[in-house]
């Protein structure tokens, strides 16, 4: 099940999955708070910024299993999953293609070197490595 942003759930997710996320992403609670409340780029003047730039995935029990997020509302995206839910990455990537691909000439997905499985998925979709992003 997918739905738009629920900031409280995002914060709880970041806290509950801190160790896993620190090992498999560059995102942390502070970055999520900055994403929501950051004043740079006049994001707060964009109506519904959070709902337009995050999509949440839930497991069968209604618990947040992961989310896709665009920090600046552009073609740079991160896909984060809880431990045990990395298998959702490809489904989430397909959703990003379907809903956010028009945001720029090509999507960039932020990853770490520890996300070898996710890198393999992106390479199958034609992405190439450029620093910490796959484009």
Q: Please tell me the pTM assigned to this model.
A: 0.88
**Average pLDDT over the chain, rounded to an integer:** 88
**Nearest Cα to 65, choosing from 1, 130, 19?**
1
Whether pLDDT at 125 is above 90: yes
pLDDT digits (tens, 9 = 90+) for 10-25: 999 999 999 999 988 9
Q: Which CATH architecture has domain 2-134?
A: 3-Layer(aba) Sandwich (3.40)
Q: Which sequence spans correspond to the domains of the chain?
A: 2-134
Residue 95's Cβ-side half-sphere holds a number of Cα atoms within 13 Å equal to 22
Q: Which pLDDT tens digit goes with each residue over 54-74?
A: 999 999 999 999 999 999 889
pLDDT at 131 over 70: no
Whose tokens are 């914060």? That residue is 11
Entry field: residues in the chain: 135
Q: Which residue would you say has higher pLDDT here, 40 or 9?
A: 9
The pLDDT, as a whole number, for residue 130 is 79
Alpha-carbon distance of 44 to 50, in angstroms, equals 9
């Amino acid at each position: 099940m997918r739905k738009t942003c629920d900031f409280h759930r995002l914060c709880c997710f970041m806290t509950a999955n801190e160790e896993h996320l620190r090992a498999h992403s560059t995102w942390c609670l502070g970055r999520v708070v900055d994403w929501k409340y950051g004043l740079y780029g006049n994001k707060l003047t964009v109506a519904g910024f959070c709902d337009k730039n995050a999509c949440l995935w839930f497991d069968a029990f209604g618990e947040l299993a992961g989310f896709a997020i665009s920090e600046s509302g552009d073609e740079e995206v991160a896909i984060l999953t809880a431990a045990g839910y990395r298998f959702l990455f490809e489904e989430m990537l397909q959703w990003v293609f379907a809903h956010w691909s028009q945001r720029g000439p090509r999507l960039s997905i932020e990853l770490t070197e520890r996300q070898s499985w996710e890198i393999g998925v992106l390479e199958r979709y034609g992405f190439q490595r450029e620093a910490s992003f796959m484009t």
